[in-house]
Amino acid sequence: MTKACAVCDAEFEAKTTRAKYCTTRCKDKGKPSANGITCCLCGGAMIKGATSSAQGQSAHNKCRTEAARILTHGPTGYRQGCRCDLCKAGQATYLRAYAQSVKDKHGLHPTTLRRKKFAEAHGYWPQVGSSDWIAPKVRHSLYERDDWTCQLCHEPIDRDAHRNTNYAPSLDHIEPQSHALIPDHRPSNLRTVHRVCNSRRGAMADA
């Protein structure tokens, strides 16, 4: 049965013949107000008989619930492990503001700034990806130094091979990274190898 709401005049599907309002909000608006007292959170009229608090202290139950949810969610809730939409949005907003404040102060993104400080302290760029720990020009110069020959199997390396194929060139640490407190990325500790040979060797030390 289609009826018109007694408050907003919007049409709605009435479940009973006595239904007058399309939503609970309209139903609340249709009730007499509590002597002009309004909700201190949303400013809407309080319903007569629904509050005994004075003006400035009264609030709808829904408004109190939402306010409590906002206060306990956001970046703080995200750090406590909550991953609801509100917490994720709050954390994203917080991180964007933090990144912008660092950019305004140092001219660099926080991640770039941390990695730059690491490079200044240790002498090499921190590894993030498979080819991130050494500059492409330096990497190519090491391939040239080793005459594009695998230093493990001593077979030629295909210069034009895709980087994810078995016989593509890669750099192997003579002293494995896992064997040192601080990995040595200097050219003297790097050698040209096939990608598949590098994988087979893994973290084994040279015999």
Q: What is the pLDDT of residue 32?
A: 47
Q: Rounded to whole angstroms, how far apart are CA atoms 54 and 3? A: 37
Q: Rounded to whole angstroms, how far apart are CA atoms 172 and 151? A: 9
- Structural element, H or E, at residue 200: helix 195-201
Q: Is the pLDDT of residue 130 over 60?
A: no
Cβ 191 vs Cβ 171: under 8 Å: yes
pLDDT band, very low/low/confident/very high, at 98 (cuts 50, 70, 90): very high
Record the pTM: 0.39
Q: Is the pLDDT of residue 34 over 90?
A: no
Q: What is the pLDDT of residue 184?
A: 76
Cβ 55 vs Cβ 37: under 8 Å: yes
Residues 1-29 have a mean pLDDT of 78
> Two tokens at 24?
């609970």
Q: What is the pLDDT of residue 86?
A: 84
- Which pLDDT tens digit goes with each residue over 154-178? 999 988 888 889 899 999 988 887 7
Average pLDDT, the chain: 79
Mapping DSSP to helix (H, G, I), strand (E, B) and coil, where does residue 49 land? coil
Strand-pairing partners, residue 3, are 12
Identity of residue 181: L
Cβ 47 vs Cβ 31: under 8 Å: yes
Identity of residue 194: H
> Two tokens at 56?
């400035």
Percent of the chain with pLDDT over 90: 22
The structural domains of the chain, with segments of one domain joined by +, span 2-53, 73-123, 124-201
Q: How far is CA 130 from the centre of its chain?
A: 22
Strand-pairing partners, residue 149, are 156
Q: What is the pLDDT of residue 164?
A: 85
